[in-house]
């Protein structure tokens, strides 16, 4: 932890200050957790007179008859015969006066009527090396860097596209090896992309500094990831009586885990076992990292306008066919906003990329059907059938994956039911029975 912290401190942000046609890059100093910049450089950029009176410790900034006076370590500034109070005081260090970055526009900028733009510039991480290693059962793309760099992988059985949020100084040599039949490296201004041709790969695991492509032959379902939708700052849909979808999803997921583990002796990992926030991508990553055989995301439905809806439906990832399917996906994908991610313009744009789920389209459909058949048998609420839409959370899952909409939290009757332990148990049992019949069917098909 100490090492990690010191690494972070070694990489300060920089700021780009722009006034009219001129931009300067300044390195801030950090005082009391705030970024400060030297006022001398700001004064130069804005064309202000800068006079430090060392006897009185006053700093005078002037332009066109206006005068701005400040004293380091005092929160009071004098401007136009009046005094103003700052939330943080300027700081005097090594013969220079430093001023909080976040106050420049509102104080100096407005006092002198100068339109100054301030932008934080993140330093682009550097990739030291990228190498390929081949083992009997796997091929590994290994990264080396001084500081962890984020990357993203989209893959199918034939191709992988890796985007790394960093640039390299020296072009790494990437020669095809093992399951990698071709490799193309493209440098961009702020990131690097790699396109790999693959042969015989059927599973991929992402780790901190490597991507492992390997031949995993699933003859038996050994691990299921159950994903309780939403959590933490993201409540999901909220019922009229104030029931949070995130809480119901978690309660159902916990019971489902118990049903599967006790009755099927199959390991279950919950993407979250308490009220915490997880990004949509992280949920699928948990399944991919653990090479799960099935991924089930548990949600409750909401219908915003019109006649209240009711019932249970199961989705797999594909293009939505109806506007209703599209609306459900849009509602669930709204979690992306908690991730500071921009919503895809149309809900198909990311599905086209989803080379991973497309390989499991049939299996995901089968799984959804089995769960939906179980709903008809085991639930008293209507069965709304198997549906398909562009759910971001199913994107990139390298296994059969479905999203279950248990009931309508937006419908007061079902909201009331969803609160009850018994109904939560019924829903978990229904999903468990669906998974069970899917597995039986799957293993029967496989052994024939």
Q: Which is nearer to Zn ion, 33 or 304 (CB)?
A: 304
Tokens in use for 66? Answer: 């206006």
Beta carbon of residue 230, minimum distance to Zn ion (angstroms, whole number): 6
Query: In whole angstroms, what is the distance from residue 44 CA to residue 331 CA?
Result: 50
Q: Which is nearer to Zn ion, 383 or 410 (CB)?
A: 410
Q: Which is nearer to Zn ion, 246 or 436 (CB)?
A: 246
Beta carbon of residue 234, minimum distance to Zn ion (angstroms, whole number): 9
Please count the helices (runs of H) and the strands (runs of E) in the chain.
10, 28
Cα–Cα separations (whole angstroms), residue 329 to 76, 137, 167, 223: 53, 37, 35, 26
Beta carbon of residue 2, minimum distance to Zn ion (angstroms, whole number): 39
Beta carbon of residue 412, minimum distance to Zn ion (angstroms, whole number): 18
Beta strand pairing call for 49-53 and 116-121 = unpaired
Q: Which is nearer to Zn ion, 35 or 414 (CB)?
A: 414
In the DSSP assignment, the letter for residue 336 is G
Q: Which is nearer to Zn ion, 313 or 332 (CB)?
A: 332
Beta carbon of residue 383, minimum distance to Zn ion (angstroms, whole number): 19
HSE, side-chain direction, 13 A CA sphere, residue 336: 17
Q: Which is nearer to Zn ion, 172 or 229 (CB)?
A: 229
Q: Which is nearer to Zn ion, 299 or 303 (CB)?
A: 299
Beta carbon of residue 236, minimum distance to Zn ion (angstroms, whole number): 4
Beta carbon of residue 243, minimum distance to Zn ion (angstroms, whole number): 13
318 CB-near residues (< 8 Å, 6+ apart):
351, 361, 388, 389, 390
Tell me which residue has its CB nearest to Zn ion: 299
Beta carbon of residue 273, minimum distance to Zn ion (angstroms, whole number): 18
* HEC readout, 200-264: CCCEEEECCCEEEEECCCCCCCCEEEEEECCECCECCCECCCCCEHHHHHHHHHHHHHHHHHHHH
Beta carbon of residue 229, minimum distance to Zn ion (angstroms, whole number): 4
Beta carbon of residue 105, minimum distance to Zn ion (angstroms, whole number): 39
b/e map 73-112, b = 16+ CB within 10 Å: eeeebebeeeeeebeebbbeeeebbbbbbebbeebbbebb
Given a contact cutoff of 8 angstroms between Cβ atoms, the answer to whether 69 and 78 are in contact is: yes
Backbone angles phi, psi at 319, to 5 degrees: -65, 135
Nearest to 394 by CA among 322, 294, 300: 294
Q: Which is nearer to Zn ion, 72 or 239 (CB)?
A: 239
**For the residues of 87-131, what is the DSSP string, one character each?**
SS--EEETTEEEEEGGGTIIIIIHHTT--EEEEEEPPPPEE-EEE
Beta carbon of residue 249, minimum distance to Zn ion (angstroms, whole number): 7
Given a contact cutoff of 8 angstroms between Cβ atoms, the answer to whether 99 and 34 are in contact is: no
Q: What is the CA radius of gyration of the chain?
A: 28
Nearest to 348 by CA among 304, 312, 317: 317
Given a contact cutoff of 8 angstroms between Cβ atoms, the answer to whether 30 and 90 are in contact is: no
Q: Which is nearer to Zn ion, 206 or 325 (CB)?
A: 325
- Residues paired with residue 206 on neighbouring β-strands, in sequence order: 211
HSE, side-chain direction, 13 A CA sphere, residue 403: 29
Q: Which is nearer to Zn ion, 283 or 299 (CB)?
A: 299
Site residues, Zn ion (CB under 5 A):
229, 236, 299, 332
Instruction: Give the count of beta carbons closer than 10 Å to the beta carbon of residue 52.
Output: 16
Q: Which is nearer to Zn ion, 72 or 236 (CB)?
A: 236
């Amino acid at each position: 932890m100490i090492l990690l912290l010191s690494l972070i401190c070694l990489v300060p942000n920089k700021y780009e200050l722009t006034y009219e046609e001129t931009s300067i890059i300044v390195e801030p100093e950090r005082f009391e957790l705030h970024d400060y910049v030297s006022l001398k450089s700001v004064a130069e950029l804005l064309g202000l007179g800068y006079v430090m009176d060392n006897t009185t410790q006053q700093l005078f900034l002037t332009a066109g008859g206006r005068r701005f006076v400040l004293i380091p370590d005092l929160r009071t500034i004098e401007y136009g015969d009046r005094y103003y109070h700052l939330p943080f005081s300027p700081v005097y260090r090594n013969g220079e006066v430093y001023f909080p970055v976040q106050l420049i526009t509102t104080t100096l900028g407005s006092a002198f009527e100068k339109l100054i733009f301030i932008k934080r510039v993140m330093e682009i991480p550097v990739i030291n090396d990228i190498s390929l290693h081949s083992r009997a059962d796997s091929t590994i793309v290994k990264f080396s860097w001084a500081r962890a760099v984020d990357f993203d992988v989209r893959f199918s059985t034939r191709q992988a596209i890796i985007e790394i949020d960093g640039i390299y100084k020296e072009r790494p040599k990437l020669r095809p090896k093992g399951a990698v039949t071709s490799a193309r490296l493209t440098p961009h201004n702020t990131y690097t992309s790699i396109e790999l041709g693959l042969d015989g790969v059927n599973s991929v695991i992402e780790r901190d500094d490597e991507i492992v492509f390997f031949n995993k032959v699933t003859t038996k379902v050994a691990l299921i990831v159950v994903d309780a939708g939403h959590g933490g700052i993201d409540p999901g849909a909220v019922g009229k009586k104030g029931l949070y979808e995130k809480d119901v999803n978690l309660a159902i997921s916990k019971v489902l885990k118990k049903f599967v583990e006790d009755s099927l002796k199959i390991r279950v990992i919950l993407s979250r076992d308490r009220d915490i926030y997880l990004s949509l991508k992280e949920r699928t990553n948990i399944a991919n990292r653990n090479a799960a055989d099935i991924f089930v995301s548990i949600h409750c439905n909401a219908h915003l306008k019109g006649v209240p809806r009711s019932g249970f439906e199961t989705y797999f990832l594909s293009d939505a066919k109806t506007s209703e399917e599209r609306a459900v996906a849009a509602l669930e994908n709204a979690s992306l906003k908690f991730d500071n991610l921009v919503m895809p313009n149309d809900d198909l744009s990311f599905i086209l990329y989803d080379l991973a789920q497309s390989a499991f389209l049939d299996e995901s459909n089968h799984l959804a059907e089995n769960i939906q058949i179980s709903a008809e048998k085991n639930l008293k609420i209507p069965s709304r059938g198997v549906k398909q839409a562009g759910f971001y959370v199913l994107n990139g899952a390298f296994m059969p994956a479905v999203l279950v909409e248990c009931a309508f939290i937006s419908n007061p009757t079902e909201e009331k039911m969803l609160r009850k332990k018994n109904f939560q148990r019924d829903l978990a049992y229904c999903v468990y029975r669906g998974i069970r019949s899917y597995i039986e069917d799957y293993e029967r098909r496989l052994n024939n």
